[in-house]
Every structure is written in structure tokens, then in C-alpha cells.
Amino acid sequence: MGNLIADPPARRCVIIGAAPNPDLPVKLLRPEDFIICADGGLDHALRQGITPDLTVGDYDSLQNANRLASLEHVTLPVEKDDTDTMAAIKIALERGFRDFLLLNCAGGRLDHTYANLTALFYLQRHHAEGLLIDGSCTAQILENERVELSERCGEGLSLFPFGCQQAVVSGEGVYYPLRSQCLQAGFPLGVSNRIVSDSAWIAVEEGTVLMISEKR
Amino acid sequence: MGNLIADPPARRCVIIGAAPNPDLPVKLLRPEDFIICADGGLDHALRQGITPDLTVGDYDSLQNANRLASLEHVTLPVEKDDTDTMAAIKIALERGFRDFLLLNCAGGRLDHTYANLTALFYLQRHHAEGLLIDGSCTAQILENERVELSERCGEGLSLFPFGCQQAVVSGEGVYYPLRSQCLQAGFPLGVSNRIVSDSAWIAVEEGTVLMISEKR
């Protein structure tokens, strides 16, 4: 008998949202990425010559609705529990993806931006890696783990408790020392630190952390 | 002897941040508002003919630095624990303000946006009312309280646990019923509800909630 549990796809799943950003960072895409457009994200993708592998949404305000027939697409009801991004994430998790990049998922409406940060937390809780990249910022959720920041030397670094009252974080190679530093949800103490070493790392010792690094 | 504890100022404190929005919603301002510009927020304010009562920042990238001499201003060190917005909030709290409106504090860099949501939580913990308005969205932090939504009929309504794993919310006059509804930080279930009655209200029964209403 073969494996009953299939290996997850090694391909990354990129979800393109509908935030009204002028340009998608197409240089971040790899040829082998599995690309899902969440509703109006399809308009952004097509405008930049990107044909998604799958589209998910209710399409109630889609400009390129005529293109749906030629694409694999899932049509959601207008009244639904999930946001379009969450629906896309659930479908991708069911298909076995465990590595996610969210683009065009921040910077538009604040409720959508916040919901998409929550979606990062959902991914983390479902044993998947998730990055949300918005302009110069990269957001991810960390819990009970150590992350190497070797490729981010020179970037800004902000750390916030997420989904918890407080979090405890240590790290090296950052400008403001982090030695079992307690971060509170009601006080943005972890803002605008800086990664100053090629061997920098941070470790979340307690709680859940939203880490946002920022290219300068 | 007079009162040892002064009554807090009845005036509202408006903090104008540095997010790169094209236009400040000047129609939201009242003549009696006490206006603080947080660093680059001064450029936005001056461009729209608004002269602040106070300016706070390190001014390292301010275009209108020559205007500072004619304004009350606090100069922060470049290396500081507080964000410019948080520094402005602390000064205003010390001066007795308890009613805050944050403008131009979202929609720019994601780390700044998130830090400013945290600043709303800080206000709530310091017994002050805080609204953050960004485009069509109004954000506020609620804890152990009931809010009347009578003036927001027709608006979208999203509710997220903030600084806690879960929150329990009830409400009436909203499209998707809220009856001791449990909201989880890792799942955006409370997104895109709708206020459908002039007598709508919501009550936070457990935890802390970030409420974002959205004009349609």
C-alpha cells in the first residue's frame, strides 16, 4: 500500500487579495507558485499579466468577470462566514499547501487588513507558514519558535503580542536588546527595532507575536 | 482651597499622524479641537491649512521644519521608546484630555498602522475614549461595555478580539445575530456584519474587542 497521508505540495501558495495597491510585487513570484486570486485580486493579477491557478470569490464587483469561464474558479455565496481571503486559505490548506504568501492583502480597508492579519494567525494554528508582504513590510505570526533573520540585516523590526495580552521575546543581533522582553498588547514598545547583524535571530518564549519587518 | 484634581478638558484631542494619505478628513474637525501633529503629520496639516496647537516628534524627515519655531512643539530624541503617536498621546493624557480622535494613523506602513491600533488599546486602558478614522473605517477598542450604534445604521461592522485569545459579544440591530458570540483571535468570523437598525447596539461581555465600522 502507498502512503495514506500524501506529502504536502512543496509549491508555495500565493494569495492575491483585492487591496487597491497600484502594483503587485511581481518580482516576488516564482514560476512554480500556485496562485489564487481572492475575488477582486483577479483584476489586479490580470492587469499585470498574471494568470492565476484558481480564483475564489463572490465576484460581485469584479471587472474581469468574463475571464472566469476560462479559469478554475470557486464561486462563494454573497452571504458567507469567511472573507474571500479566508475561503482561499481554507481551500489551499485542503489541497495540502503549507507555505503561503499573501499579497495585496493590506493597505486598503482597515477591517480587511486586520482580518488578513488574523488569517496569518489561522495559518500558524494550522501548521502552515504564512507571510503577508505589503510594500516595504513583511508580516508573520510567531509562536513558541526561533526565527533566523540573517537575510534581513538592516531592516526595521516591530513585534506585537497578537491574540494574547502579553508575549515574551528574546533575540540577538537587534539594535534594542531583547532579553526575555515582555511586550504588552496595550503598549507598542516593540516598534521600530532594527536588525543589525547577519546572525540575528529572535525567539518567542511566551505568547504569540505579530512580527513586522520593514525594508529600509 | 480649590479642587486638587482638575476636571479633564471637555475639548477633544485630535492627533494627526504621518500616514501618506492624500487628504485629511478636515470636515471631521471641530473649531474647539486641540490638535496635535505627530511628526510628519505636521506636513499634512499645514498643506490643508490646519495649524496645530502642539507638535510632537523628532522631525528627522519633516518638510516644514522652518514652521516649528512659530508653534508649540516637543522635540523627541531620534532614539526613543515611544512612537511619535504614543508620545503625543501621553502628553495629551498628562494634560487631562480623555477624548481622542486619531487621523492619518493608518493605511501607511503596516507596522505604524498596527502600533496605532495598540495606541487605541493604551487609551482604553487609561480611561480615555479613542477613535481612529481611516477613510471609510472607524476603529475603536471596547472592553466590558455596551455601545449604542444608532448613528451608524447602514454601516459595515467587524469585531476582532484584541490583546486576548477570545472575546464574547452580544448585539441587536445587526444583520448576523450576535448572542454571546465567541470570537477567536485566529479566525476572522466577526468580519463584515452590518448595522441594520437605528436602535442597534453591541456589548462586549468578555475580553477586549477591536470594532471597525465602515461607511458604505
Q: Does B164 touch chain A (CB under 8 A)?
A: yes
Contact at 8 Å (CB) between B165 and B185?
yes
A130 has pLDDT over 60: yes
The pLDDT value recorded for residue B21 is 83
Contact: B121, A186; criterion CB under 8 Å: yes
Q: Which three cell numbers stand for residue B179?
A: 448572542
- Give chain A's mean pLDDT: 93
Q: What ipTM does this complex have?
A: 0.94
**Interface contact A182, partner B, CB < 8 A:** no
* Beta carbons of B187 and A118 less than 8 Å apart: yes
**B106/A110 touch (CB, cutoff 8 Å), yes or no:** yes
- Is residue A163 a contact partner of residue A206, using CB atoms and an 8 Å limit? no
Shortest CB distance from B189 goes to which of A81, A114, A156?
A: A81
The strand pairing partners of B209, in sequence order, are B142, B161
pLDDT at B6: 57
Element housing A89 (H / E): helix A84-94
pLDDT band, residue A22 (cuts 50/70/90): confident
Q: Do B214 and A111 touch (CB under 8 A)?
A: yes
Q: Under a CB-based contact definition with an 8 Å cutoff, are residues B91 and B54 in contact?
A: yes
Separation of alpha carbons A146 and A168, rounded Å? 12
Tell me the pTM: 0.94
Helix (H) or strand (E) holding A137: strand A137-143
pLDDT at B53: 98
Q: How many CB atoms lie within 10 A of CB A45?
A: 24
Q: Do B86 and A188 touch (CB under 8 A)?
A: yes
- What is the torsional sign of CA B102, B106, B112, B115? positive
Closest chain A residue by Cα to residue B108: A107
Mean pLDDT confidence for A169-174: 96
Q: Is the pLDDT of residue A1 over 80?
A: no
Rounded Cα–Cα distance for residues B136 and B99 (Å): 20
Q: State percent of chain A over pLDDT 70.
A: 96
**pLDDT value at residue B2:** 41
Taking CA–CA distances from A19, the nearest residue in chain B reads: B107
pLDDT of B61 = 83
- Asked if the Cβ–Cβ distance from A192 to B158 is below 8 Å, we say no
Angle at which helix B110-125 crosses helix A110-125, to 10 degrees, equals 90
A 10 A CB-CB count for B209 gives 29
Pairwise CA distance, residues A134 & B115, whole Å: 16
Contact map slice: B 95-154 vs A, CB within 8 A: 106-107, 109-115, 117-119, 121-122, 124-125, 132, 134-137, 139
Which of B161, B74, B145, B210 is closest to A111 using CA atoms?
B210
pLDDT at B1: 40
As a whole number of angstroms, the distance between CA B51 and CA B36 comes to 9
Can you give the pLDDT at residue B78?
85
Looking at the complex, does the CB of residue B195 fall below 8 Å from at least one CB of chain A?
no
pLDDT at A48 > cutoff 60: yes
C-alpha A82/C-alpha A179 separation (Å) is 39
**Euclidean distance between CA atoms B133 and B149, whole angstroms:** 16
Cα distance from A3 to chain B (closest Cα, Å)?
A: 31
How close, in Å, is residue B180 to chain A by CA atoms? Answer: 17
Residue of B nearest to A208 (CA): B165
- Tens of each residue's pLDDT in chain B, 216 residues: 444 555 667 899 999 999 988 789 999 999 999 999 999 999 999 999 999 999 999 998 899 999 999 999 999 998 888 899 999 999 999 999 999 999 999 999 999 999 999 999 999 999 999 999 999 999 999 999 999 999 999 999 999 999 999 999 999 999 998 999 999 998 877 888 999 999 999 999 999 999 999 998
Q: How many CB atoms lie within 10 A of CB B17?
A: 29
Sign, CA dihedral A101-B212-B44-B27, equals positive
| Chain A environment of B117 (Cβ under 8 Å) | 114
Question: Would you call B137 and A109 a contact, using CB atoms and an 8 Å cutoff?
Answer: yes
Q: Which of B21, B60, B76, B111 is the best mutation test for A, with the most CBs of A within 10 A? A: B111
Specify the pLDDT at position A10: 83
Residue B162 touches partner A, C-beta closer than 8 Å: yes
Whole-angstrom CA distances from B54 to A87, B30, B112, B133 are: 46, 16, 21, 20
- Measured between CA atoms, the residue of chain B closest to residue A136 is B109
Of A190, A208, A126, residue with least CA distance to B164: A208
Alpha-carbon torsion angle A79, A83, A84, A88, nearest 10? -120
Mutate which of A79, A81, A114 to test chain B, going by most B C-beta atoms within 10 A?
Answer: A114
The alpha-carbon gap from A52 to the nearest alpha carbon of chain B, in Å, equals 25
**CB atoms B214 and A109 under 8 Å:** yes
Taking a C-beta distance cutoff of 8 angstroms, is the pair B11, B34 a contact?
A: yes
> Cβ of B61: how many Cβ atoms within 10 Å?
11
How many Å apart are CA A216 and CA A138, to the nearest integer?
12
Q: Is A178 on the interface with B (CB under 8 A)?
A: no
CB B214 within 8 A of CB A141: no
Which residues of A fall within a CB distance of 8 Å from B164?
163-165, 185
First to last CA, chain B: 53
Residues 6+ apart with CB under 8 A from A174: A149, A157, A193, A194, A195, A196, A197, A200, A202
Q: What is the pLDDT of residues A50-104, one digit of tens each?
A: 999 999 999 988 999 999 999 999 999 988 888 999 999 999 999 999 999 999 9
Closest CA to A153 of A197, A191, A211, A193: A197
Do the Cβ atoms of B57 and B38 come closer than 8 Å?
Answer: yes
Sign of CA dihedral A21, A23, A29, A34: positive
How close A138 gets to chain B, by Cα (Å)?
9
What was the pLDDT predicted at A3? 44
Radius of gyration of chain B (CA): 18
